[in-house]
Amino acid sequence: MTAPTLAERFREDFPILDQTVHGKPLAYLDNAASTQHPVEVIEEISRYYRESHANVHRGLHALSSRATELYEHARQRVAAYLNSESSESIVFTRGTTEAINLVACAWGDRLKPDDGILLTEMEHHANLIPWQMAARRTGAKLHFLAVNGDEGQVDWTRLESVLEQQPIRILALTHISNSLGCINPVAEVCRIARKHGVTTLIDAAQSAGHMPLDVQAIGCDFLAFSGHKCCGPTGIGVLYGRKELLDQMPPYQTGGEMIVSVNFEGAEWKPAPHRFEAGTPHIAGAIGLGAALDYLDSVGRKEIQENDHYFGRQAAARLREIPELRLLGPAGERAGIVSFQLGKIHAHDVVAFADQQGIALRGGHHCNQPLIRKLGLIATARASFYFYNTETELDRLVRVLHSAIAYFG
Amino acid sequence: MDFDELYQEIILDHYKRPRNCGVLPPPATRGSGFNPACGDEVTVFVQQSPEGKIQSVSFQAQACAICTASTSLMTLQLKGITREEALALQRKFIDFLTKEGPGDGLGNLRALGGVRKFPQRLKCATLGWHALEAALNG
């Protein structure tokens, strides 16, 4: 297994990484929470504000049409990134959370009492609570595919029988688990769901910046991701939806920008995607996201994926050598995410200890509280890698965990 | 260094060997504190005498070092005092952490002063004290 060399080639594109924290070089291992920004993205956002900012779509002057062109170009960029047939399938949102809320409301309101919503037990709260609310509003019922043991695999062989026995209308699942690091077989799952006439939504928050994504190959009806987990800005995200589905859905929010005509009694909506973008959007965010996706394609998404899997495997193997450490997630292939309980040491203490050594980890339930509780844990510490992370940083992680055992043990 | 100020020797000692750990059966009253950010939970048990003095106190915690140590140190200062005195001690402790209060009479609890530089750990340091208040009111 040869170590990938992406960090050697691309790390210097990320100015934030070149700093010390508490007197130690920063090792940023909290990429599943948010990734950092290459100069290209920072410059693109800055250039937009310096040269081209105005409100989009409604102005007739030069700056407004330039801003509109850049914003709509970003939409086309996202469509190409996802291999969406049309940019009209791309709705800009605030992030994954808003994208899923949009579907759970605008699509979810067609649910009837006892219709089934199928989720897995590893869903992030963002792909759980919107569906709990949809169920509460409509009387639909939540169903869950169980996650078993510390490896956290879903038994996908049960999917067919659940779909046969329950009146499931929608299946919403994560592509890559943010707490377990496992990669779900979304294309196969969507194929089975489609056979049963079940609508599908993929939470791609942890995958969009980490691997090639093709919505046509996956065969999903909806897919959501956030800009800030793929080198883009915060406050911008994407909902991909099949155009005919989006056009059947009522607006999620209403206001300016999303109407064809309005009188005092009512309004007529624009078609998708503008129907779902009420108000002035995050123009700079969309443009910055477009630049981020360009950047990721210049690095190579296949290479990023291989790099992720390399660090996932290496980190899992090195962490398993620590006798006190309980590692969550699959034994085999995994994303670059390792979540663990270190002896009896609380995750907050592990994270505070690592921080003193310049290593940024995350500790908590990772917005996965039901699953973490089911595994008999309160909180875990998590390290998550991206292509700019180095072997040296992995070595430092392993060393700091040994030191933490000595300190708190 | 800030970190060793946060995790002082006495804090690590009370984290590794928490005092007054366990359950007190009724008629002792109990109160719980929960931190939704990390899932930490502390339950405090208080046995009060007919004269209104705290006779014994214990706690159970699934929590970080700061929270466990703060609660353990707290239990050592409660015996023989009244409910009102305990609540006054709670206010004094929280003021010490949040308003640079002088912390007179806090004794070993002053070791938690490092939390001032780590405001994100304030909830950890005060969780057991909120559980105490709930137990005194229960």
Residue A2: pLDDT band by 50, 70, 90 thresholds?
low
Interface probe, candidates A346, A356, A359, A408, chain B, greatest B C-beta count within 10 A: A346
The angle at the Cα of A385, spanning A43 to A310, to the nearest 5 degrees, equals: 120
Interface probe, candidates A349, A356, A359, A407, chain B, greatest B C-beta count within 10 A: A349
- What was the pLDDT predicted at A1? 58
Catalytic residue, from A105, A220, A231, A367: name it.
A367
With helix as H, strand as E and coil as C, how does chain A read?
CCCCCHHHHHHHHCHHHCCEECCEECEECECCCCCCCCHHHHHHHHHHHHHHCCCCCCCCCHHHHHHHHHHHHHHHHHHHHCCCCCHHHEEEECCHHHHHHHHHHHHHHHCCCCCEEEEECCCCHHHCHHHHHHHHHHCCEEEEECEECCCCEECHHHHHHHHHHCCEEEEEEECECCCCCCECCHHHHHHHHHHCCCEEEEECCCCCCCCCCCHHHHCCCEEEEEHHHCCCCCCCEEEEECHHHHHHCCCCCCCCCCEEEECCCCEEECCCCHHHCCCCCCHHHHHHHHHHHHHHHHHCHHHHHHHHHHHHHHHHHHHHCCCCEEECCCCCCCCCEEEEEECCECHHHHHHHHHHCCEECEEECCCCHHHHHHCCCCCEEEEECCCCCCHHHHHHHHHHHHHHHHHHC
Residues spanned by the domain of B63: 2-137
- What was the pLDDT predicted at A267? 85
Q: What is the pTM of this model?
A: 0.93
Q: Are B126 and B94 in contact (CB under 8 A)?
A: yes
State which residue of chain B sits closest to A357, comparing Cα positions. B3
- What was the pLDDT predicted at A369? 86
- With an 8 Å Cβ cutoff, are B64 and A353 in contact? no
Residue A24: pLDDT band by 50, 70, 90 thresholds?
very high
This model of the complex carries an ipTM of: 0.83
Residue B39: pLDDT band by 50, 70, 90 thresholds?
confident
- What was the pLDDT predicted at A227? 98
Interface probe, candidates B34, B64, B68, B70, chain A, greatest A C-beta count within 10 A: B64
Instruction: Kindly list the residues from chain A whose CB atom is less than 8 angstroms away from the CB atom of residue B65.
Output: 345-346, 349, 408
Query: What pLDDT digit, counting tens, does each position of A91-148 carry?
Result: 999 999 999 999 999 999 999 999 999 999 999 999 999 999 999 999 999 999 999 8
CATH 3.90.1150.10: which residues of chain A? 6-30+300-408
CATH tag for A42-298 (out of 3.20.20.70, 3.90.470.10, 3.40.640.10, 3.40.140.10): 3.40.640.10
- With an 8 Å Cβ cutoff, are B3 and A353 in contact? yes
- With an 8 Å Cβ cutoff, are B64 and A372 in contact? no
CATH tag for A6-30+300-408 (out of 3.90.1170.50, 3.90.1150.10, 3.20.20.105, 3.40.109.10): 3.90.1150.10
Cα separation, A211 vs B112, whole angstroms: 45
B15 and chain A in contact, CB less than 8 A: yes
Q: How many CB atoms lie within 10 A of CB A85?
A: 12
- What was the pLDDT predicted at A57? 82
CATH code of the domain covering residue B107: 3.90.1010.10
- What was the pLDDT predicted at A6? 96
Q: How close are the terminal C-alpha atoms of chain B, in Å?
A: 41
Q: Active-site residue A367, yes or no?
A: yes
Question: In B, residues 90-119, which contact A (CB 8 Å cutoff)?
Answer: 118
Q: What are the φ and ψ backbone dihedral angles of A261, each rounded to 5 degrees?
A: -150, 150
Cα separation, A105 vs A249, whole angstroms: 9
The contact set of A with B (CB < 8 A) is 22, 345-349, 352-353, 356, 363-365, 369, 372-373, 378-379, 407-408
Query: What pLDDT digit, counting tens, does each position of A311-359 carry?
Result: 999 999 999 999 999 999 998 899 999 999 999 999 999 999 999 999 9
Greater pLDDT, B59 or A59: B59
Asked if residue B1 has pLDDT above 60, the reply is no
Structure tokens that stand for A40 in this block: 């290209």
Q: Is B129 in a helix, a strand, or coil? A: helix
Average the pLDDT over each of A155-159, A220-224, A227-231 and give the range with the smallest value. Answer: A155-159
- What was the pLDDT predicted at A366? 79
CA atoms within 13 A on the CB side of A83: 11
State which residue of chain B sits closest to A23, comparing Cα positions. B1
Output DSSP code: residue B83.
H
State which residue of chain B sits closest to A406, comparing Cα positions. B12
Instruction: Kindly list the residues from chain A whose CB atom is less than 8 angstroms away from the CB atom of residue B1.
Output: 356
- What was the pLDDT predicted at A241? 98
CATH 3.40.640.10: which residues of chain A? 42-298
- With an 8 Å Cβ cutoff, are B39 and A373 in contact? yes
- With an 8 Å Cβ cutoff, are B38 and A365 in contact? yes
Instruction: Kindly list the residues from chain B whose CB atom is less than 8 angstroms away from the CB atom of residue A378.
Output: 38-41, 62
Inter-CA distances, B37 with A124, A228, A286, B6, B58, Å: 15, 21, 30, 20, 24
How many domains does chain B contain in total?
Answer: 1
